[in-house]
Structure 1
Amino acid sequence: MKREIGPNQMKIDALPARASLADKQVVLGNIDYDERATMRAWEHFLADEPKCARDLVRPSHVRSLIHDSWYRSASGGINAQGHEAPLSSDRDAIEYLTRANAELLSAARRSFASIGQLLEGTGAMLVLADRDGVLIDAIGDKKTLHDGMDIHLAIGGKWNEDAVGTNGIGTALWTGEPVFVHAAEHFCAGIKSWTCAGAPIRDPLDGKIIGVVDLSGYSPIFRPHNTALVAATARQIEKALAEQQQEQRTRLLEAFISSAPSYRRKDGLVIVDHRGRAIFCNNVPDGETTEMMDGPMEPGRGRWLMNLPSSGSEADLARALPAHLRSCHITPLKLDGDLRGAALVFPPVPAVSSVTVIHREGDKHLEAAAAMIVGTDEALLAAVDVACRVARSNSVASLLVEGETGVGKELFARLVHAGSRRTANDPFIAMNCGAITKDLFGSELFGHVAGAFTGASREGKPGVFELANGGVLSLDEIGEMPLEIQPFLLRVLEERVVHRIGDSRGRPVDVRLVASTNRDLKQEIAAGRFRQDLYYRIGAVSITVPPLRERGEDVLLLTEHFNRQIAAASGEEPLDFSHEALDALLAYRWPGNVRELKNLIGRLHVLAQGRGVELHDLPEEITAASIEPGTRSASGTATSPEPEGTLAEAERQAMRSALEAEGGNLSRVARRLGISRPTLYRKLDQYGIRRSFV
C-alpha cells in the first residue's frame, strides 16, 4: 500500500542512490544510528511543525544536538527540500573574502598542505570556512571536490545554519564545539547523502570564533574519529595563529620604539593591532582607558578599543579615537608599508606621586584623595608630593597652600586630612576667612561663652578650632584675616590651647592646620597687613598650586574628567569635543582656573545641541582666544598668512623644518614645537601646509 506524503515530507525510498546499506545502521558515539528511523523522525518533525521548543518530543534515536538544530532550521524558514547552499561566485566578492581572512588562511596553510595530500582517493575533502560559515578554502579528493560543487560545498558557499540548516559547519558555529552531522541528520534533503565533521577555530587573542575546519564526503567515509581529526586540525591552526600574532606584536613594538624616541617609561602605552584590539599594555591602570570603555577603558589584552581608519595619517587616527581616549597621543604603526596597528600613549596617571605609592601603599584614603587632583604637570605633581609627605608626617602641624582663586587649593587640605586621619570620624572643618565679618571673626575662630558679647548665643558656641579637634582645619583665604586677630591665632598654634571669648579657661586642641591664600603674603607683610611671625608659623612648609594656564594639556585631562563626572551624575552620555573645540580650550588663559573649566563643562552639558561640542558652542571669550593675532580681517574672516619676512612666515618655516626633521610624524612635530596636536592641525590648515608626506 502506497503511503501518502505531504509536501514537506520525503519517502525513505527517495534516499539518494549513493547511500549504501553500510549507512543504514552505524554507531554514532554512544547512539545507534538507524537511517530509516532518523528519516522517519525527520518526516514526522516536518509534518508536526511544532510551534515552540517546549512542544518538541525528541525520539530516543535522534541526538538532542540534531533535534535542536532541526528546530532552529525550521524556525528560521530553511527549505527542508533544499539541495544546495547559497553561493557567491562574484570574483570581487571572493577576492574581498580572501583579503579579509588572510590571517586565517595563512595559519591554516601548513595543516591543509600536510592533510590534503593524504586525502586523494579517500572520498573526503577538507574545507575551511570563515566566522560566517562561508567557505574560503577546500582541498582533498578531486572527485569529491567536483561533486561538492553540486551542493555548493565550494569556495563562496555559505554553510551556516541560517543559510542551509543543520550541517557540520553551521552547527559547529552555533554550538561553539566540535560536532559531526551524518547523512539523514542533515536538515535539507539534498545533502542527506553527505557526512561532515566540523570544529570551530578561535582567535587566541580574544577567544572569539573566527572560522571552522570541516571534513566532508559521502556518508561511507564516516568514522567516529573524524571529529577528533578536525578538532586537532583546529588546534593546530590556532597555534599557528598565536605564533603569527606574537610575531606581529613584536614587530609593532619594534615599529613603535623606532618611531617614538621621546617615549617616557612613566607614560602609559597601549599597542592595538589592525583590528583595534589591545595586544600590549604597559603602565595603564584599570579605569584609565572602556568603556576602553561604559566607564574608562580596561586595557586587557584582546580588548577592542577602536576602529582603525584605512588611512594611516595621524589626523585620521586622532579623529577615530573614542571620546574617552582623546587625551592620548596616537601614532600609526606600519609594517611593510601597510597600516597594521597604532600606539596610544597616555600621560602619567595624575593620582598619587610615586613617593606616596611606595611609602603608603596601603593607605587607600590618601590615594583616593590624591586621585581627585587631576593632572600631569610637573609643578602640580610636586605640590601633591609635598602635601602627601605632610599628611604622613607626625612632626609637621601646618601647611600653607598658595595659588590663584579656583586652582583647587581645598583639595590639598582634603589630601592632608585623608593621609593624617587616625579614625573614620576625624573631623575636617573648612572656614573661608574672606566670608566672615571682622566683628565675628574671633567668635567663629575661637568660640565664645554665653553672654560674652551682644548677640552671643545663650549656650555659648565652640569655634572651628574646637570643632576640628583631632582632625584638620582648613582656613581658606587666610590673607583676609584681620590683623588684630592674627596674634591670637599664632598663640593657639604655638600653645595648642584655645580660649573662647569671655572665658579664662583654656581648652587643649590637637589640630592640623592647612592655610590657603590667593594673595602674595610676603607683599602683605611688607604692606603691614599680615604678621611676619604668623607667616613663618603657618608657612614652615608651603606649596604653590600652578594656575591652569601654565599646566599645558592638563586642560584636556580635566575636560575629560569633568565631562565624565557630570555625565555620570546626570545619567547621560559624555559630550564629544571636536578637535577645534579642544584647541580653543587649550589656547584660553582660564582666569577662573579649574573652577571656571568645571563650570563651563557643566553649562555645555545643559546647553550643547546634541552630544557634540563644536567651536561655535563655546563662549565668545574662549573662541576669541584661539584666534591668532592678525589672522582675521576687519570683516571677521580669516586672512591669508602674512607676507614673507613676517613672524607668521617664520612660524610657517619652523613648522616645515620640524615636519622634515621628524619625517612627518605629527606627534613628534608637536612636541618639537612645544604645541598641542590640535594646535598643530589648525596651524597646518592655517598656513596651507600639505600633509602628503605625513
Structure 2
Amino acid sequence: MRAWEDLLTYRDLERTRSAGVRSEILESWCRSLELGIDALADFAPLDHADERLTQAREENAALRSAARLPFAKIGALLSEADALLILTDAKGMILDQIGDCRTQDAAQAIHLIQGCAWDEAMIGTNGIGTALRTGQPVVVHGSEHFCQGIKGWTCAAAPIRDPFDQRVLGAVDLSGPPGIFRPHNVALVAAVAREIEVALAERQEMERVRLLEAFLDTGASRSKTDGVVILDRIGRVIYHRQSPARRGCDLALGRQLIALSDAMSDGDIAKALPPPLRASGVNRLMLDGAFSGAALILPSNPRAALSAAPVAPTAPVRIAPRAGTEEEALLMIGTAPKYLEAMDLARRAAAAGAPVLIQGETGAGKELFARLVHAGSGRKSGAPFVTVNCGAISVDLFGSELFGHVAGAFTGAARDGKPGKFELADGGVLCLDEIGEMPLELQPYLLRVLEQRAIYRVGCAKRRPVDVQLVAMTNRDLGLEVETGRFRRDLFYRIGTVTIDVPPLRERGCDIPVLATHFNQRVAARLGRPPLTLDDAVMEQLLAYRWPGNVRELRNLFERLHLMSVDGQVTLEDLPRNMQTLPEPPAVPAKAVIEPDPVSLTDMECQAIRRALVSEAGNMTRVAAALGISRPTLYRKLKLYGIRRTYE
C-alpha cells in the first residue's frame, strides 16, 4: 500500500520497484497511470446495456458453450465458499458468473456484474484485465489492485486461447474477499481455462469436418490437381491443398486469409483475396442454415493462374555496391511471404547489430541477405563488408586468414605480417560463408573472438579490439552437425542469435514469373538485344520445375537461352533436357496401396501427411513445415492416425 501511495505521489518507478512490488503488478500500475485511470475510483465504470451484453454473448456463443460444463462442475463447490467464478470475453466484458450469493451482492457495489467491462483501460490493475493484457495467468491480491475501491478483493485469472491460432478469446476469473486467497487459486483458474480450450478444440475439429463435408456436398466443379482452400467463418485457413501453381504462397493453417463475414457474396470473397491468389470458384458454406465459411478453388493450370492473378507489383530492394568496387547494385526481388518475412528479419537483425546465421540451399541467395544486413546495419558510410569462404581455406592457413599473423610466425608468413579478416572487417560486417566447413579445432578461437570482441594474431600476444557484426552462412543443417559432434554447440548458439531461413525457389512459386522477367531483361540489356519471348508451355514448365539450383539456376538458364536462341522465341525444345518433361510425382512404394479420393477431412489429413513424408524424404522438420503445423502436432497426428514415420 505504501508503494502504491509513493508511486502516485512521486511517480518514481525505481523507488517503487525497490519496495518489493512484483514486476507484473508494477508494470500494470504503470500502464494504469499511462491510461489515466483514477486511482481513487471505488468501482468500475458502469456502461451496462442489455443490447451490448446480448450481442457479446451471441458473438461468444462457442466460448460460453465450451465453458458451460467446467463452470457447472465448479459452481456447485462455490455456493458457501465466498467466491465467484467469472467468464469474460476478450475485451474483459463479463459474460457469465456463478458462485456465492453474498459475494455476488458485494460484487454489485463495485460493478463486478454481467455486462460490465473489467479490462485495464476501465479499472486499472485487476485479475481479468491484467491476464488479458499479458496473456498469462495472474493473481492480483488486495492492495495490488490499482483502484482504491477494489483493494478489498482478491482475484486470480487466466486467459483462454483459441486452440487454432492462439489468439486470446477471453478469461476465467476467481474473485472474492481477501480471505479466499490461496496461492493455488491461479492453478485452479488455469485448469478451468485449459478445460474450456479442450472443449473448443473438439468443437473446432467437428466444425472442420462438417465444413469439408458441406464443401463436398456442393459438388463444385474441380479437377484432382486443382488447389482447394477452406476458410472458417472469420476467414482463417482450416484446410488447404495447393496446386503446383500456388507453391510458395502462404496458406498456413490458422492464418486469417481475409476478414470473412456473412454479408459477403461469392464475388466479394473473390475480390478480397490477396493479390497472389485468384480463385476459379468460390462457395459459401452453410451449417445448420447459418453462414459458417467458404471454399476456394485454385486453378491447376499455372498459366491460367498466372493470368488470373498477376503478382503484386512490389518494388525490388536495391542494395548499393560496396565502396571502392565496380560491382553493380544488387536487387532483391520477391513477393512470397516467406521471402518477405526473411527480409524483414534481416533488417531488424542489422539494426540490432546481433550475430546472424543465414541458412538456405545453394543458389537460394544467402549472400543477398548478408549484404542486406550490411546495408541496414546503421554503421558509418563505407563500412567494410568482408567475406571468407570457410570451405576454400586449408586447415593450416585458417587461423592466419581469420586472425592475421606477425612476421616470422610460421614458414611462408608475410615479411611484415598480415592483418586477418576480422581486422579488415573492423567497423563493418564479416561474412563467413560455409561456416559448417570450419575445422572443429579452430571453432573455440572464433567463439572467444565473438565473446571478447578482440583478436590475437598468430605468433603475437597483443590484444587487438575489433568491432565486427558477424554474418555466418551455410547450406548445411547446423543443428544436425551439432548433434553429430561436427560443430560446437556453444558456437552454434552464439552465431545463431538471429537465424534467417532463406526459402528455396520451389517454395516461392509466385516469384518465378517476376524473377524470370528480371533475368530475361537484364541479360537482354547487357547483350543489346530485345528480351526473349517465352511460349506458354515454357512458363508452365518453369512453374512446375523443382529448381534444385534455385535462383542461380534460373539466372543461368536465361544466360543460356539468350546465347542459344536464334529468333528470340523460346519453346519447350529450347529448355535444357532435364526441364523438358514435367517432373514425375514421387514414386509410390510397391507395397503401398493407392489411396482413394478422400471423403472427409480426416482422410485428407492422412493423405497429406503421407505425401509430405514421401516428398520430404521423412525429414520431420520439413514435413511439419510443409503441412504448416508444429513438430509436436505432427507427432500427435502420426500417432492418432496410426501412420508410421518410415517413408520407404
What TM-score does the superposition give when structure 1 sets the normalisation length? 0.47
Q: Which one has the largest radius of gyration?
A: 1
What TM-score does the superposition give when structure 2 sets the normalisation length? 0.50
- Determine which structure has greater relative contact order: mean sequence separation of CA pairs < 8 Å that are 6+ residues apart, divided by chain length: 2
